[in-house]
Amino acid sequence: MSSIIQLLPDHVANQIAAGEVVQRPASVVKELLENAVDAKANDIKLIIKDAGKSLVQVIDNGVGMSVTDARLCFERHATSKIRAAEDLFSLHTKGFRGEALASIAAIAHVEMKTKQEQDELGTHLAIEGGKFVSQDVAVLPKGTSFAVKNLFFNIPARRNFLKSDTVEHRHIVDEFQRVALAHPNIHFTMYHNGSEMFNLPASNLRQRIVNIFSGKTNEKLVPIQESTEIVGIQGFVSKPEFAKKNRGEQFFFVNDRFIKSGYLHHAIMAAYEGLLKDGCQPSYFIYLDVPPNTIDINIHPTKTEIKFDDEHALYAILRSAIKHSLGQFNVAPVLDFDRDSNLDTPYEYEGKEASMPLIQVDANFNPFGDPDPAPTKSYSSGSGSSYSGSGSSYRKPEPSNWESLYVGLKQDTETITDIQDIQFESEEVTGSLFNDKEIEEAIYKTYQIHKKYIVSPIKSGMVIIDQQRAHQRVLYEQFLANMTVNQASSQQLLFPLNLYFSSQEIILISELQLSLVNTGFVFEEVKEDHVVISGIPVNVTESEVSILLEQLLSDLQDEIPESSFSQNDTIAKSMAKSLAVKTGTYLTEREQENLVNGLFACKEPNVSPFHKPTFITMSVEDLDKKFAV
């Protein structure tokens, strides 16, 4: 019997490894940028076309590679970062497994140009599907250039699983921002389809954050600084009033490596306890510096998760550091809001004891005695004071002309001479508690229960309506109808609104601008870091505009629908969710009736836009069963 276990060919093994390393074009961007950082480059360029599907190119001015290294770097498990197994616990670089370039070369057309500073000529390599096509010498500048073209050209199934260009481009920007934030001392530039998207000169950490997210980011940041034997913490968190619905601007870096940690995120949320609105998330840029031998970064293929030796201590230190910073910069509220700093104890009196005042009491003082026309007073000098009198008393003088206070008042009271002259209003005695008119009005009256449900009687029993879901359905169909027929009503603002967003959020708003205009928004300008809105839908208040747009951007964080109908549907759902009356809101009788009438005038009143029931009916028979003994 022949053996059934065989070794895989190299090109098959590389394609399997590529499934872990290269999930989308953003994975290629991450690996190439980290290699450029490890090459000690101080100027890195990223060039992409068609959201990385056609081209991903990274150019750096690092140390470059020799001819032998240029050929060897595409072999599996070939790396310059590790010599022994012990090196895994003392890593100071990004990539160390040696699988990235081999995996990328197995599923794309790769062209590499590299040259070391001391060499006169460089090396030009071309690889297609893991096979070397050409190797030549070339006149090149110092550094390395990797061009990855036609990603997944030999695996059509993987290429079909890629999302739209908008989604893939957003993932690439996320990876670019993570590497750029981890290394503010490096000059990064990014180009997409020939246009410059980011130009981040070398700067300090705060300036790098402002350059990436633009807008009014600088005034949102609160610095954090803490140093202990376990961890060194620095970075910035946002002020509570700038918290958003989405979790876009949240970054953890451990030894200049981006990570994701729900445990550490919980520590930050604990520090903000009582300062944030429900559902809001703070922005933060936290940089942790820990000894390399206390972490294990080899537990996840993408290296975005890290195992810490002492997570509990790290949790406590991080939460305390953020609480301290929020209090130090007067971000957290204090108990005495009207405290006058002029009343604080001066520093020179800090060690002194307070002297007690001396009080002397006259034992002969009688408040009921005869008044003394000339009482004697004496005051003691120094820190105490005293008062002495000769048993005097004080009486309030009585006015002599008190009768004059009542002169001129009219006597409006009338004296009733005969009690039989009093007439009483006659009352009609009926045989029922309510008259017919009151009974007729009560049949159509609605009632609100616990500020959550609306009860309306019907012939067969009653209808119990969830006010929030019902209002969502009404608003959803209104917005969808307005966007479909392009006849939305808009109210002009006396003063236009300036709303600031990050560069990625501005891109999303630009793509959805036409659909938002059809709902009633009027955009005067859409700039790189803010938008100017001069008109809003009629059922939207000015204070709700920023909340509505933030909720919309949060809902579209994963993907923007390609078709216009899907875009309209998503926008209508998001706006209905933001503007619908919430549970706990009191509704007047007129508002309750309008909501009930509007719900049953909808095309699909049974369910909300999110496919949840809006009402239930309870018949008289059901009520009878409840009372049955």
Q: Residue ranges per domain, the chain?
A: 10-200, 213-328, 453-616
Query: Does 56 score more than 50 pLDDT?
Result: yes
In percent, how much of the chain has pLDDT > 70?
A: 76
Indicate the pTM of the whole model. Answer: 0.69
The contacts of residue 389 (CB under 8 Å, 6+ apart) are 362, 365, 372, 375, 376, 377
Query: Does 337 score more than 60 pLDDT?
Result: no
The residue with tokens 């699988």 is: 99
Residue type at position 608 = S
Give the CATH architecture of domain 213-328: 2-Layer Sandwich (3.30)
Looking at 292-417, list the stretches that DSSP marks H as alpha helix, in order from N- to C-terminal side: 311-328
Query: CA 620 to CA 462: how far, in whole Å?
Result: 8
Looking at 8-17, 338-347, 452-461, which range is the least confident one? 338-347
More reliable by pLDDT, 343 or 183? 183
- Per-residue pLDDT, averaged over 25-51, amounts to 91
Q: Are 235 and 205 in contact (CB under 8 A)?
A: yes
The pLDDT of residue 388 is 46
Residue type at position 279 = G
Residues found in the chain: 629
Query: CA 559 to CA 555: how far, in whole Å?
Result: 9
From the CA atom positions of the chain, what is the Rg in Å? 38
In percent, how much of the chain has pLDDT > 90?
A: 20
The contacts of residue 489 (CB under 8 Å, 6+ apart) are 482, 520, 537, 538
Looking at 124-138, 146-160, 336-350, 605-619, which range is the least confident one? 336-350
Can you tell me whether residue 287 is helix, strand or coil? Answer: strand
Could you count the other beta carbons within 10 Å of the beta carbon of residue 272? 22
CA within 13 Å, CB half, 461: 12
The pLDDT of residue 551 is 80
Q: Of 44, 55, 39, 50, nearest to 179 (Cα)?
A: 44
The pLDDT of residue 4 is 82
The pLDDT of residue 421 is 62
Query: Does 383 score more than 50 pLDDT?
Result: no
pLDDT, tens digit, 9 for 90 and up, residues 211-251: 888 767 888 888 999 888 888 999 999 988 888 877 778 89
The pLDDT of residue 76 is 72
Q: Are 172 and 31 in contact (CB under 8 A)?
A: no
More reliable by pLDDT, 352 or 461? 461
Q: Are 89 and 292 in contact (CB under 8 A)?
A: yes
- Per-residue pLDDT, averaged over 369-374, amounts to 59
Q: How far apart are the first and last CA of the chain?
A: 79
For residue 168, the Cα-to-chain-centroid distance in whole angstroms is 22
- Per-residue pLDDT, averaged over 451-468, amounts to 88
Q: Of 578, 609, 617, nearest to 470 (Cα)?
A: 609
Query: Does 413 score more than 60 pLDDT?
Result: no
Asked: is 453-616 a CATH 3.40.50.300 domain? The reply is: no
Q: Which two tokens stand for residue 204?
A: 């300090």
Same CATH topology for 10-200 and 453-616? no
Query: Does 390 score more than 80 pLDDT?
Result: no
The pLDDT of residue 124 is 93
Looking at 143-204, list the stretches that DSSP marks H as alpha helix, in order from N- to C-terminal side: 156-160, 165-182
- The rounded mean pLDDT for the chain is 80
Query: CA 381 to CA 420: how far, in whole Å?
Result: 79
Query: CA 261 to CA 269: how far, in whole Å?
Result: 13
Q: Are 593 and 584 in contact (CB under 8 A)?
A: no
Looking at 203-308, list the stretches that DSSP marks H as alpha helix, in order from N- to C-terminal side: 205-213, 217-220, 262-271
The residue with tokens 């990014």 is: 190
- Per-residue pLDDT, averaged over 61-87, amounts to 74
pLDDT-derived band at 164, boundaries 50, 70, 90: confident
pLDDT, tens digit, 9 for 90 and up, residues 121-143: 999 999 998 888 999 999 999 99
pLDDT-derived band at 379, boundaries 50, 70, 90: very low
> What separation in angstroms does the CA of 429 have from each of 355, 433, 435, 439, 441?
80, 10, 11, 17, 21
CB neighbour burial string for 411-422, b if at least 16 within 10 angstroms, e if fewer: eeeeeeeeeeee
Query: CA 547 to CA 553: how far, in whole Å?
Result: 10
Query: Does 451 score more than 90 pLDDT?
Result: no
Q: How is residue 613 annotated by DSSP? A: B
Query: CA 537 to CA 369: how far, in whole Å?
Result: 80
pLDDT, tens digit, 9 for 90 and up, residues 526-568: 887 788 999 888 878 888 888 888 888 877 765 556 556 677 8
> What separation in angstroms does the CA of 395 have from each of 110, 368, 387, 392, 599?
107, 9, 20, 10, 75
Q: Which two tokens stand for residue 574?
A: 């998001």
Homologous superfamily (CATH) for 10-200: Histidine kinase-like ATPase, C-terminal domain (3.30.565.10)
Looking at 12-16, 55-59, 145-149, which range is the least confident one? 12-16
pLDDT-derived band at 371, boundaries 50, 70, 90: low
Q: Of 574, 561, 572, nearest to 602 (Cα)?
A: 572
The pLDDT of residue 514 is 83
Query: Does 206 score more than 60 pLDDT?
Result: yes
Query: CA 229 to CA 289: how far, in whole Å?
Result: 10
pLDDT-derived band at 386, boundaries 50, 70, 90: very low
> What separation in angstroms does the CA of 560 have from each of 233, 507, 509?
36, 11, 11
